[in-house]
Structure 1
Amino acid sequence: MSAGTREQCVLTAMIGWSIWNRRNKWVWERVNGSAFGVLAAAQNLLHDWKEAQVANMSNENCNLDQSLKKWRKPPDGWVTINCDASGVLNGGIGIGCVIRDSHGNFIEARCCKIQGHWQIREAEAISLKEAVSWVRLLGFQYCRFETDSQVLVWAIKGQSGESYFHTIVSQCVNELKHIDQVLVDFVYRSANGVAHLLASAAHSMSGCGEWLVTPPEFINDVLDLDSV
């Protein structure tokens, strides 16, 4: 604690608290979880605490639900990656994701169609897995992933299961371990509109679409709305 920066000390304290909570769940409820889940819970707690401090300083009394309904910029040096899936009932899914920086600027977007018959939660998990794999290839190391699937976020931070959905979740967790600092957060659809448009557009494309620096025209309006 004496050798670390203030940020490192605060995160260490949050990790200790998260370990204690996970230990109590095991002792009293026999509920176990992954090491990643402990770290993710600590990072999310720290992130939420920081946002609460900012809100208090500015005398804003908005509750957490309101903050999840509008797209938010990530901290300085981080990127936010929104991901989504669509068309689950049409014999294939479209997946889309978009990367923006701490100023809200568009960095890159991608969408593609994946054939197969999937349940909704499986499709959402696939969209996150593809987003994480893509971001790893691009080399980003301070990442906040956002999805409008609360079930998926619970699974990422909770205990593993034996369903095919949980198999995909485990693959996501393994991929996320290779990113230095990472958050996986739930947001409402209204805060995930760009990713939803990209996922929907994938069904009308013959292959994958990828845009660097300059976004496709069909998401410009939502990007502008998010930046307000």
Structure 2
Amino acid sequence: MIGMVCWSLWNRRNKWVWERVNGSAFGTKAAAVNLWVEWRRAREVDANRRPRVENECMGWNKPPDQWIKINVDAVLSQDGFVGTGAIIRDSAGHFVRARVSRVAGNWQPREAEALSLKEALSWVKELNYDYCVFEYDSKQLVDTCNGQEGESYFHTIVSDCVVLCKHFNHVLVQFVCRSANGVTHLLATHSMFGLREWDVYPTEFIHHVLRSDIT
């Protein structure tokens, strides 16, 4: 882990020297933890021997032992709101909790994505979980959370997400392919009735996706 932190600091230094990009301290730490998690996963024996990138793009992957994974997504409604969906699963792939909500306003797509991540971070923070991996299928959002700064309203919402991340002792925000994020997209499309939450047992309309994710 010390080596990963040193490598992330070196990359941050190079970005400043050559590109004048000053990454955040949280982004540097998150990059180090991401490298460490990927290193641990790379050491695991893959039964079917397929490349890791291919596996990630084909389907959902379980988080490391003792971690939980929170997949997040958003949909834009023509009725003037953003529908958000989030689901928590444990290291065995078992359902823990799920939540849908709606945020009023005519938002742009990338702002809607940032709002849904902010909603998920606030929700999981209130549940007092630690060792959390948040996954989203927007690479721009993930990259911005992990260090790319800006001044638009989108970046303002992302700054709120980064502040929320600091309330967790161990947290990752990482990119996942759309094909591995299907369950949250389905949840978000059912947000027209407002805030709803499920624990212990998932709602019926996501059963088939949950089963396919861990098979």
Per the shorter chain, which TM-score range?
A: over 0.9
Moved more, 168-177 or 151-160: 151-160
Determine the C-alpha separation between the residues in 1 that align with 2:48 and 2:137.
28
Amino acid at match of 1:148: D
Determine the C-alpha separation between the residues in 2 that align with 1:190 and 1:159.
25
Hey, what does 1:7 align to over in structure 2? none
Hey, what does 2:112 align to over in structure 1? 123
Displacement of 1:221 in angstroms is: 0.7
Hey, what does 2:128 align to over in structure 1? 139
Moved more, 45-54 or 132-141: 45-54
Q: Deviations over 1:100-120 (max 9, x none)?
A: 000111000000111101111
CA contact (8 A) 2:72 2:181 kept: yes
Determine the C-alpha separation between the residues in 2 that align with 1:58 and 1:209.
38
Q: How does 1:1-228 map to 2 (within 5 A)?
A: 11-55=1-45, 60-203=49-192, 205=193, 207-228=194-215
Distance 1:63 1:121, change over 3 A: same
- What TM-score does the superposition give when structure 2 sets the normalisation length? 0.95
Amino acid at match of 1:16: C
Unaligned ranges ≥5, structure 2: none
- What TM-score does the superposition give when structure 1 sets the normalisation length? 0.90
Identity of aligned residues (%): 54
Once superposed, what is the RMSD of the aligned Cα atoms? 1.4
Amino acid at match of 1:71: W
Displacement of 1:89 in angstroms is: 4.6
CA contact (8 A) 2:80 2:106 kept: yes
